[in-house]
Amino acid sequence: MASALKNLSSYNSDNLPDISGKKFGLVVAEWNKEITDTLCKGAYDTLLQHGAKPENIYRNTVPGSFELTLGAQFLAQSNEIDVVIALGVVIKGETKHDDYICHAVAQGLTQVGLKFNKPVIFGLVTTNDEQQAWDRAGGKHGNKGVEAAATAIQMLNWVN
Ligand code: RBF
């Protein structure tokens, strides 16, 4: 399994930039809220742990993961925000809704990052069932919120 081979929750914290003056925009989907709250806490705590100031972390919610793209765009267009982190959980059901949502979010977030020339981090957990989601929200596969925050910090090496 890919995440067993490369779990960014145990990322290398060498050579991370000084983020004490950087501003972070978190957009968090409320669908599967208990799990997305856990991802968000992981991201938030990781940013603080690496020197971000609480007043520089903006947290916004959207109803579901499909809305992450627009939420990310509102954040990314602000000169106040250096990097956007999008967090959501899409769990497979009986129909193919998960495919449509996940593809839309992946493409949408990519476009927002390119449009605003700003890192937009893909923190969408896409699983077959709820247990797999919890496994990735503080469980045996780490916390993808922590990984999203670590990725955001690493990408700030690219931002002036
Ligand atoms: N949003 C999620 O964040 N995770 C889901 O697992 C999820 N499942 C959905 C299943 C169906 C059948 C539908 C219609 C929506 C689902 N959504 C889910 C909500 C979606 O991201 C969005 O908020 C709504 O479709 C409104 O645009």
> What pLDDT digit, counting tens, does each position of 91-143 carry?
999 999 999 999 999 999 999 999 999 999 999 999 999 999 999 999 999 99
DSSP result, 97-159: HHHHHHHHHHHHHHHHHHHHTS-EEEEEEEESSHHHHHHTEEETTEEHHHHHHHHHHHHGGG-
- pTM score, two decimals? 0.94
Choose one of 30, 34, 65 to mutate for the ligand 1 pocket test, by most ligand atoms within 8 angstroms of C-beta: 65
- 87 Cβ contact partners less than 8 Å away, ≥ 6 residues apart: 26, 27, 28, 29, 36, 39, 40, 43, 68, 123, 124, 144, 145, 148
Distance 83 CA to ligand 1 centre (A): 25
**Whether residue 64 has its Cβ less than 6 Å from ligand 1:** yes
Give the model confidence (pLDDT) of 35-93 as tens digits: 999 999 999 999 999 999 999 999 999 999 999 999 999 999 999 999 999 999 999 99
- 1 Cβ contact partners less than 8 Å away, ≥ 6 residues apart: none
- Say if residue 148's pLDDT is above 70: yes
- Say if residue 6's pLDDT is above 80: no
**Annotated catalytic residue 103:** no
**Whether residue 36 has its Cβ less than 6 Å from ligand 1:** no
- Sheet containing 57-62: order of strands: 57-62, 24-29, 83-91, 120-127
Q: Which CATH class is domain 46-154?
A: alpha beta
Choose one of 96, 97, 127, 134 to mutate for the ligand 1 pocket test, by most ligand atoms within 8 angstroms of C-beta: 97
Residue entry with tokens 């520089």: 56
**Whether residue 66 has its Cβ less than 6 Å from ligand 1:** yes
**Whether residue 63 has its Cβ less than 6 Å from ligand 1:** yes
Give the model confidence (pLDDT) of 131-145 as tens digits: 999 999 999 999 999
- 150 Cβ contact partners less than 8 Å away, ≥ 6 residues apart: 8, 9, 11, 13, 46
**How far apart, in Å, are the Cα atoms of 25 and each of 50, 71, 94?**
16, 10, 33
- Say if residue 1's pLDDT is above 50: no
Confidence of residue 5 (pLDDT cuts 50, 70, 90): very low
Q: How many CB atoms lie within 10 A of CB 16?
A: 15
